[in-house]
Structure formats: structure tokens, C-alpha cells
A and B are shown apart, each in its own frame.
Chain A
Amino acid sequence: APQPATYADSSAQDYLMQFGYLPESDRETGNLRTDDQLINAIKNLQSYSGIPVTGHIDEATKKLMKAKRCGLPDKLDPRFSRTRHRR
């Protein structure tokens, strides 16, 4: 498979999987990813964290990925989540 044009090294992809932005099943099954999948995952991370949404692993995203954080995923299995309530 062609390498995704979007640069995201394995540690970045691991981060996206670890915190729920890419399917965690990929860890086991090694599914091939398209550029779109990766870009969407990065955009979701940027949107969730409140940094500019570029779809690329820019400086702000790199900084975010190095920041101290909780080990739980941000995007959880929706089967176990109840309705999201926003104010």
C-alpha cells in the first residue's frame, strides 16, 4: 500500500489510536489506512482539544501530543456512552 502522504509517524498514529481518534482494532489487525482517515483523525484531535484544525501534525499538534494528560481515551466506544449533553 502506498504510504499516506500526510506525515504521521508511528508514534503519532499510536497516539491517535490510544486516545480513540483512530480505530484501536488497527493495533491488532494492521488495517491499511487512507490519507483521509488519518487527516480526519488529526482534525478530530485538533477540534477536540481546541487548537486550530489543520489536518496536519503542525507545531501546535506536536506540542499537544507531548503535553501531560490522562491515559483514558477521549473518544470512547459509543455503545457504552450515554447521551451527550451540552450547555
Chain B
Amino acid sequence: FTVHGQKWPHRNLTWSLRTEQPRGLEPGGVRHQLSRALDLWAKNSKLTFQEVNSDRADILVYFQQGYHGDGYPFDGRGQILAHAFFPGTDRGGDAHFDEEEIWLLTDSSDEEGTSLYAVAAHEFGHSLGLAHSSVRGALMYPWYQGLSTNYELPEDDRHGIQQMYGAPEERLWGNIPGGGTQPERPPAAAPSTTTSSTTTITTTTYRPWRTRPTRPTRPTRPNHYPEERPRRPDRYPVKPDYRTERPDYRPQRPHKPHRHHTTPSTTAAIATTSVATSPTTMGYRPRHRSTPSPRDGIPDKCDTSYDAISIIRREVFIFKGRYLWRIGDQGLYEGYPAEIIRLFNLPEDIDHVDAVYERPDKKIVFFIGNKYFLFNGNILEPGYPRPLTDLGLPRSLEKVDGAMVWGHNGRTYFFSGTMYWRFDESENYVELDYPRDMTMFAGVGYNIDAVFQWKDGKTYFFKGKGFWEFDDLRMKVAHEKQKLSAPVWMGCPRKLETPDLETN
């Protein structure tokens, strides 16, 4: 057996079936089979399982089909039956079953159907921290084998689960080698969806004929831990809000004059020639507007996260809120940050951009919310903005976190939440077989703020006030801990009193 990564920090786990009506299946029967599958592990370890009706349970069970938002699409009826996530935050522990399979609520399988009990027992092994085993006959053997009646957990799996959570008899005698370090979760306020009895219900006492509202449950605290963010895996969390980082930031439109170095005549020249001009004269300079901005409320270049970063005409543009900085060969340009709308003809009411990249044809794409804007130089192309769905991105996508042309293969990538897409520039559409899970870019995590490829050809991912350099060949971050962005990208001094992310 193979133990993979983390184990649960407590032994009394909760689970919940979150698909109300699995296709063609009776929910009570499904819950019964899931309960039996968990019981198999409970009987062989110190673990207990309690069913709750809450999306904050440790193990959430879904029946889903095709692409279902986690980068591991199901393939319809046939080969892939289910998958589950190892213990951890967000989706950790969750089990997904392919709704298009023919599931049988019996122990036996036939040519047509598959035993839900057998597959659930295997998947819950992953939920508890076990990876696949090459031992034929083991429950964690990857290929479906079916289970016999009165099935007992094979030795290989039993040793695996007991290494992590201890053997059940040790619970009686208090001798807890190895698995005895996980505490019971202390009782706490019950979620609103559960009753407030003090009886502990484990799968061993589960009675499927009892309806959920009358079944006594021990109060559980919501199953997210203080250091973790609340679990809502199916949403795309918004980027850190610069308005909360800077309480004095006022997103209202400006009223006071803004000093800059551009004349109307140079601006006019930019608009028509910027694509072809050299980097030094490319002309992306603040343009005059009738209602210039105030200097207050400008993000602090040495203490901020970034919304988007891109190389445009061989210069680095860093976007934050309504502002941008511009970095050339000589470093940060004077007169910046400037309002984005002074350089690019975006709507006056925009208060941020989500992502920006320069296409291979040198046109510039801005992503804002569920729309994208296409610029030729600093002139918005006719017909824009257009919805993200035009690019093949899903209608449910609220925003794009980052976009880049990856130097490693010259392909364009879009990132959002937990997913990423490869984009075919010639077809102007995302490629088949996407989205995929962000874990492909190992070490970067989910919900990035920005990504771009710098002049050194390397890829950099940004999140919060830090960044990672990415090793394109090894497909993982070059350093697991973030480095602070401000000293590297903005030339800010390292403050001794400010703990560096590298050591924090």
C-alpha cells in the first residue's frame, strides 16, 4: 500500500451526499451503500464516520458527469468510474462518481452495472489518504474487481489504514502506537442543517430507513479549520481586494488634475503607430482626459498585490486597481502609476483588470470580469468587449485570473480559479480536453493573481504580495515558498521588520 501525503487531523470524520437525486438511484439506498463503504474502513481503524447534511462535511460525495469543474473529467459510461481527493483543504476528501455509469445498489456486479458499494469503498480509501496499490485483490488496486458478499478489508489495505489511524482494538486499550495522535474533534455548535442531539452516530449505527431529519446526530463544528479558507471548491474566489488592503483607497472617479508627461500630440501619434514603434518610443504614455485623477488612493508599489502583469511591446506592465506601472530596461518609469484608462481606451468606470496579455499578432487582450477587450495599440477594436464564451470559456466563468503566452511551447494559457485552459490562437478558441486542474503547474496552487513570462524566458506566478518562479522543464515551482514581489519587481528595499515570505 502507499500512503499519500496528509492524513486527517481528527478521527471522527463527517460525510455528506451532496447530489440530491443521483440519476436513476434512490437517495436512501445510495446513502446506505456509501455508509457501508465507510463502515468497512471504520471497522478496521479508529475512524468513525458521521453523516451530516452540510457542504462543510469532511467528505463530500457527488454524482457528476463529463467535465465537472475539477480538471478530471469523466468519460461517460465505461472506463473511469470515480475519483476522490486525498485529505486536505478545499476538495480534500471529496469523492466524485460518474453519474453516467450504471450503478447497482447491491454488492454484486454484472456485465451492465457496477456495484456502488465496491467503488465507494475504494474511493473512500483515497479520501482517507491511501493511494493505489499494485497488490491484486487489494481494495486499493486501481482496476475494478467487485466485492464479494460479507467482504472483509484485505490485509494490504488494513495495514495501510492502520498505519495512518491506528487499529480498532487499540481504541479499547488506549495503546495507540502510530495512529494515536489524531484527536477527536471537540463538540461544537451544530451546523444549522443538523439536529442538536448529543448522540454520536457513526456508520456502524446507521439505519438507512430512518429519515435524515429525525436521525440524531452529534453536534459538529463546521469542518473547516482555522488556518484554512472556507471550503467552496466550486466557486472562483475573487482576488484580494485592493480596497481592503488600502482602507483609504477610494474607487470613485477622480476630480483633481493629474500630472503627467504626455502631450496630446504624442498621444495621437501613439494611437496610430504604437504597434510598430520600438519599445523606447512605443508611446504608451498617459493620455489626457477631461477629468484627471487624484494622486490619493494610489496603490503602494511596495506593499500591494498585483491584478495582472504582462509584457507589452517588450516592457513590463503591472496592473493594480485602476492603475498600472510600466517597467522598461532602465527600471520603473517615472510618472507611474498612471490610471489604466489614460493609456488604454477602456470604459471610465472600470476599477481593475483581471488579466492582460499580448497576442502573437501584437494585439493586446484585457480580461475584465466575464468580458474581454481587444486592443490594437491603445485603440479598442470595433465590436469589443465580447463575452468570454466567445473564446470557448464556460458561461459560468466569472473572470480570468491570468493569461500568458508560455515561452516553453509558445501556446497561450488562461487561468481561473482551480482550472486552466490552453488557447488556440489560430482558432480563437480554447483547445479540446481543457480545462485541466491547476495542479499541473505544481506548487502554484489555485486562484492566482497574475502570471507572465518575463524577458528571461521564465514564467512567474503571482499571488498576494509574493511570487514564484516556475521551472518549465520540471513543471513545478523553482522555490516552494513565495518571494516578496516588491523588492524584485518594484525595486523596493527589503524591510527588516517585514517578515519575508521566504522565511514566513
Contact = CB atoms under 8 A, between A and B. Distances in A.
Contacts of A71: 72, 74, 80-83
Given A28-B440, A29-B408, A68-B114, A81 B159 contact: no
Interface residues of B, number: 43
Interface of B: 1-5, 72, 74, 78-84, 114, 119, 122-123, 126, 131-132, 134, 136, 142-144, 155-156, 159-160, 163, 406, 408-409, 411, 422, 436, 440, 442, 472-475
B142 A69 contact: yes
15 contacts: A25-B440, A27-B436, A28-B409, A29-B408, A47-B134, A49-B142, A50-B134, A66-B79, A68-B79, A68-B144, A69-B144, A70-B122, A70-B142, A81-B2, A85-B160
B82 A70 contact: yes
Interface in A45-87: 47-50, 64, 66-74, 76-77, 80-85, 87
Given A48-B134, A50-B136, A25 B81 contact: no
B136 A72 contact: no
Given A71-B81, A81-B5, 7 more contacts: A47-B134, A48-B134, A68-B114, A70-B82, A72-B84, A87-B155, A87-B159
Interface residues of A, number: 31
Contact of B2 (A50, A66, A84): A84
A59 to B, nearest CB: 16
Given A81-B2, A82-B3, A87-B159, A67 B132 contact: no
B106 to A, nearest CB: 16
A35 interface: no
Contacts of A2: none
B5 A67 contact: no
B495 to A, nearest CB: 32
A74 B80 CA distance: 13
The 9 closest A-B pairs by CB, nearest first: A71-B83, A25-B475, A68-B144, A71-B80, A80-B5, A48-B134, A69-B143, A82-B3, A74-B132
B142 A74 contact: yes
A70 B155 contact: no
Contacts of A72: 83-84, 126, 131-132, 142
